[in-house]
Structure 1
Amino acid sequence: MKLPSCDAGDWLKSARRRLKNIEDGGLAAQVILAHVLGKSREFVLAHPEYRLENEQQEQLASLLTRFEQGEPLAYLTGHREFFGLTFNVSPEVLIPRPETEILVEKALDWLKSHPNRRMAADVGTGSGCIAASLAYHVPDLKCVAVERSWQAMLIARRNFEGLGVSPRIFPVIGNLLDALGGLFDLVCANLPYIPTGELAHLPVGRFEPQLALDGGSEGLDWIAALLRDSERWLAKGGLLLLEIEASQAEAVTQLATRWLPTAQVQIIHDLQGLPRVVWAETRLSS
């Protein structure tokens, strides 16, 4: 169907009106327009006279409706920024979040202060954002990236290749670290931690993969399973970093202390002051 002639400025004005009751709706409209045009946000703002082709208008209309219905912007554009890098995303993977950058930051700090520790694992890699960020910033790091979902691993592999780190990341389809032997100096895990009963009431449960969200009745099933096996694969003097939900700090601390009795366990808070990461560093000698 032939649509009336429209330029970028007119479309943005109309989109802002439609999204006025949605937080950051104006910004989302800019991102959607830039994505469809294959331009930067700066370009679309600087060139309101840019004429939109009929096919572009149809695509914009579809994306705007999907955004109004709650679909995450990252799924509409197919990418998300994380730790200064751009990652491909799709509904098969959890959208990388700023909270997880805290885990990456702490892992990088530890790696830089332990230059002889260069064997890592990212458990539940999803989009691969943790593994790729670590390998990108630590050029001699080797990392195993474990994921249960084949569809998610395809996205992760694309990200590893796109960021030039695939030669040093070893993708494994599996359940936690069950199928792997040997010792890891650093293990990072952003496992499913939302209680099953809460998931249906959260916006994140509408569009993002249940496999990456559902942590069982108390949200601790996967975290507990990983910790139960931790003495087998965590090297002496090694570090385990677990992202958690804020209310789980005490429970996960107790689990970590139980299964890694020699470890120094501490809680790292996010920018809002909420417990976000459990740090468990084992001793060099028993």
Structure 2
Amino acid sequence: MIVRDILKYCEKQLSDHQKDSATIEAHVVVGHVLKKSRSDLLRDQDVELSEYQQSEIFRVIHERISGNPLSYITGHRDFYGLSFTVNRNVLIPRQETELLIETVMRWICIEHLRLNIVDVGTGSGCLAVALAVNVEKADITAIDISKEALSVAAQNCRYHSVNNRVQLRQGSLLSGFVGIADVIVANLPYIKKNEINHLQQEIMYEPIQALDGGLDGLHFQRELLHQSRSKLSSFGILAMEISPEQGSALEDLAKEIFPLREVRLLRDLNGHERVLCIK
């Protein structure tokens, strides 16, 4: 079988199983196995594949149509223009989470200080690393309760050469942080416990610990807001990703805990309330 034919085969398999962007995913899968870029595949359309290469592509396609997320298959995910290692110990970074970075970056444009930033529930480290890469005058503490997740975050810190400015800490919420933070960012579990088993098949491959937000989905957000009251500097900012349906409840709670601060809900590109911002 040549490259052209196996690309067509993969695209049909993905399309038949209702995978979005079947053509793109077919190129990603084949390129991943053959270690070739998209342009390489287009150039090598008539190259004959070995039996081993074919069997590996068939195996990976079977994984994908069975529901395994593409990012776990390839082992990486792009986020805020950077490439991150991911595996099943961490949540896959989403595009909507980039709004957290954008929110902090807009605030930093006004401030001209060396900042103390805390990333709560760092997972892959995508928020901590993206901030470290884009904010030179910042010392960052990245906290996660999972030792396995912190191992992935450490890989990403080293890859992007920010391991000297990002300190990884194991702990629950702000328990791993001592001091006062100028910036607190967080993407915490916010799915209601009774909804976990009804999630899309692909999401079920991700760590339950990074999804389960307790009975009402607000367990960790509620606790972080209370902890932040004594940890956030007087001029600082807190930006937290939320589920759109939780916006009103969290906005009311934030105003109760931070009565003298501005509390806003920011919308993502789809118009959904996605970030709770306190400053």
TM-score (norm 2): 0.96
1:20 is paired with a residue whose SS is helix
Counterpart in the other structure of 2:73: 76
Please state how far the C-alpha of 1:181 moved relative to its aligned partner.
2.1
CA distance in 2, matches of 1:182, 1:190: 21
- Pick from 166, 171, 182 the counterpart of residue 168 of structure 2: 171
Counterpart in the other structure of 2:5: 10
Please state how far the C-alpha of 1:117 moved relative to its aligned partner.
4.6
Counterpart in the other structure of 2:231: 233
- Pick from 131, 137, 141 the counterpart of residue 134 of structure 2: 137
Q: Is the 1:230–1:260 Cα contact (8 Å) retained in structure 2? A: no
- Pick from 179, 184, 196 the counterpart of residue 181 of structure 2: 184
Counterpart in the other structure of 1:284: none
Q: Look up the equivalent residue of 2:241 and give its one-letter code.
A: E
Q: Is the 2:12–2:22 Cα contact (8 Å) retained in structure 1? A: no
TM-score (norm 1): 0.94
Counterpart in the other structure of 2:122: 125
2:148 matches 1:151: yes
Gaps of 5+ in 2: none
Counterpart in the other structure of 2:260: 262
Q: After the TM superposition, which of the residue ranges 108-117 and 231-240 deviates more from structure 2?
A: 108-117
Please state how far the C-alpha of 1:45 moved relative to its aligned partner.
2.1
Please state how far the C-alpha of 1:27 moved relative to its aligned partner.
1.2
Please state how far the C-alpha of 1:38 moved relative to its aligned partner.
1.3
Counterpart in the other structure of 1:104: 101
**Identity between Structure 1 and Structure 2 (%):** 37
Q: Look up the equivalent residue of 2:129 and give its one-letter code.
A: A
Counterpart in the other structure of 2:47: 50
Q: Look up the equivalent residue of 1:108 and give its one-letter code.
A: M
CA distance in 1, matches of 2:133, 2:177: 23
Encode CA deviations 1:24-50: one digit per residue, 9 max, x unaligned. Answer: 122111101111111111211232122
Q: After the TM superposition, which of the residue ranges 106-115 and 73-82 deviates more from structure 2?
A: 106-115
1:103 is paired with a residue whose SS is helix
Q: Look up the equivalent residue of 2:159 and give its one-letter code.
A: G
2:150 is paired with a residue whose SS is helix
Q: Look up the equivalent residue of 2:274 and give its one-letter code.
A: R
Encode CA deviations 1:216-268: one digit per residue, 9 max, x unaligned. Answer: 11100000010111121101110000100000011111111122222100010
Q: Is the 1:127–1:152 Cα contact (8 Å) retained in structure 2? A: yes
Q: After the TM superposition, which of the residue ranges 181-190 and 11-20 deviates more from structure 2?
A: 11-20
Counterpart in the other structure of 2:32: 35
Encode CA deviations 1:72-129: one digit per residue, 9 max, x unaligned. Answer: 0000000001000000000110000000011111111212221215110000000000
Residues 194-273 of structure 1: matches in 2 within 5 Å? 194-203=191-200, 204-273=202-271
Q: Is the 1:230–1:259 Cα contact (8 Å) retained in structure 2? A: no
CA gap 1:182/1:165 in 2 versus in 1, 3 angstroms: same
Q: After the TM superposition, which of the residue ranges 41-50 and 267-276 deviates more from structure 2?
A: 41-50
CA distance in 2, matches of 1:244, 1:163: 27
Q: Look up the equivalent residue of 2:246 and give its one-letter code.
A: Q
Q: Look up the equivalent residue of 1:85 and give its one-letter code.
A: L
Q: After the TM superposition, which of the residue ranges 197-206 and 150-159 deviates more from structure 2?
A: 197-206
Q: CA RMSD in A?
A: 1.1
Q: Which runs of 4+ in 1 moved over 3 A?
A: none
CA distance in 1, matches of 2:60, 2:184: 38
How many equivalent residue pairs?
A: 276
CA gap 1:275/1:241 in 2 versus in 1, 3 angstroms: same
2:256 is paired with a residue whose SS is helix
Counterpart in the other structure of 1:3: none
Q: Is the 1:111–1:117 Cα contact (8 Å) retained in structure 2? A: no
